[in-house]
Amino acid sequence: MPDGRPVLVNRQMNRLAVQLTGHTVLDAETTWNELRNLTSFNGCSRLEKPWTETAEEKPGELLGFSLPDGTMWQFRREMLKGDHQTYLQIEAADVTEMFRLSKELYENNRRLQALHERQKVLLSNIAQINREKELLSVKMRVHDEFGQCLLATSQSLRGGTLAQDDAELAKGWADAVRDFTNIPLEDSADGRQQAELEQVASMIGCRLEFSGALPDRTGTRRLLYAAVREALTNAVRHAGADVLSVRVRRSAGGYHAEISDNGRSDVSSIREGDGLRNLRSRLEQEGATLEIDCRQGVVLILEFPEGGKDEGKRGT
């Protein structure tokens, strides 16, 4: 009724109201306000989301509570329009099973999402993992070869047959040493990358000058090299530069790099073509930033975050 007196309350609703508020439903609006402000009472407690996602489809305000007997109840407050007046309706539904399933679904979705992320990482690294696996098996084979050579040589020495076995032993040692020297030295790959950049720069008549400590992380160094390539291309093509300077230093958030050249350039701004646009988007994907300063020639200013963008995701 307009004064709040209930027209109809069933026994179940009264039972729930007593458990949750300490008294029966005397005034619907007051009862709803009490429920709305209730966080815990008499062993009953308020349910936080997610609880019943499908319930959102129906109109009205929703509240959820768990009772001491382990059941979960969903309360809905809704205005019903009659012929001459509007009624406030509060309905309660036992959602114990729905809550359990909804929670299970939520947990499963979270697990699925985590698995999906792991799958992405695995697939993007699989080529690298394979390479490392192959390299490891080569190293193990070479290790075994040396072991066999040592064993055979020591047996020949002990048995006094060194003179007869020397040709075979020498061949074994030569093979082992050759295989050993053919193992790719993965650690020097970055050194080669810088040397190769210098090589191609010199092919187009430009000298690269690196100064400062290069970033520790391979991914960050790759980004830096990508920026150097773009700057080098533009400096030689558009400004006739023959020296490109790359200065790197540690900054509070990671690494700061500046790439400048000695070319003739007196522009106040530059139009970003495909190359710079692609570079900028590649950098931003990795959490790095690019600024272009045209006050004195064209200087690319780069900020790389410490550890790269994905550092925090490792090991998950």
Partner 1 sequence: MTNILLVEDSKISRETIESRISRSPNYLLLASIENAANAEIACLNGKVDLILMDVCTADGESGLKAAANIKKRDANIKIIIMTSMPEHSFLQRAKDCGCDGFWYKEYGDEDLLDVCARVMRGETVWPSGTPPISLGGACSLDLTERELAVLRELAMGKKYEEIAETLGISANTVKYHIKNLLQKTGCRSTLQLAVEVVDKKLILPKY
| Residues contributing to the site for partner 1 (CB under 8 A) | 116, 119-120, 122-124, 126-127, 130, 182, 184, 189, 192-193, 196-197, 199-201, 203-205, 222, 225-226, 229, 232-233, 236-237
Q: How far apart, in whole angstroms, are the C-alpha atoms of residue 316 and residue 119? A: 11
Q: How far is the CB of 76 from partner 1 (least distance, A)?
A: 31
The torsion angles phi and psi of 23, rounded to 5 degrees, stand at: -150, 170
Nearer residue to partner 1 within complex by CB, 90 or 223: 223
Nearer residue to partner 1 within complex by CB, 71 or 193: 193
Nearer residue to partner 1 within complex by CB, 14 or 194: 194
Helices marked H in the chain — which ranges? 11-21, 28-37, 96-159, 162-181, 189-203, 218-239, 274-285
Nearer residue to partner 1 within complex by CB, 127 or 163: 127
Q: How far apart, in whole angstroms, are the C-alpha atoms of residue 72 and residue 68? A: 9
Peptide bond into 50 cis (omega under 30): yes
Q: How far apart, in whole angstroms, are the C-alpha atoms of residue 210 and residue 260? A: 11
Tell me the residue type at 114: A
The torsion angles phi and psi of 24, rounded to 5 degrees, stand at: -75, 175
Q: What is the largest CA-CA distance in the chain?
A: 119
Q: How far is the CB of 112 from partner 1 (least distance, A)?
A: 10
Q: How far is the CB of 215 from partner 1 (least distance, A)?
A: 14
Q: How far is the CB of 64 from partner 1 (least distance, A)?
A: 29
Q: Which of 105, 98, 101, 87 is nearest to 64 (CA)?
A: 98
Nearer residue to partner 1 within complex by CB, 76 or 222: 222
Q: How far is the CB of 227 from partner 1 (least distance, A)?
A: 11
Q: How far is the CB of 222 from partner 1 (least distance, A)?
A: 5
Q: How far is the CB of 51 from partner 1 (least distance, A)?
A: 25
Q: Which of 61, 88, 87, 86 is nearest to 75 (CA)?
A: 61
Nearer residue to partner 1 within complex by CB, 76 or 229: 229
62: left (phi over 0), alpha (psi -120 to 50) or beta: beta
Nearer residue to partner 1 within complex by CB, 119 or 154: 119
Distances (CA, A) of 294 to 267, 268, 309: 7, 5, 28
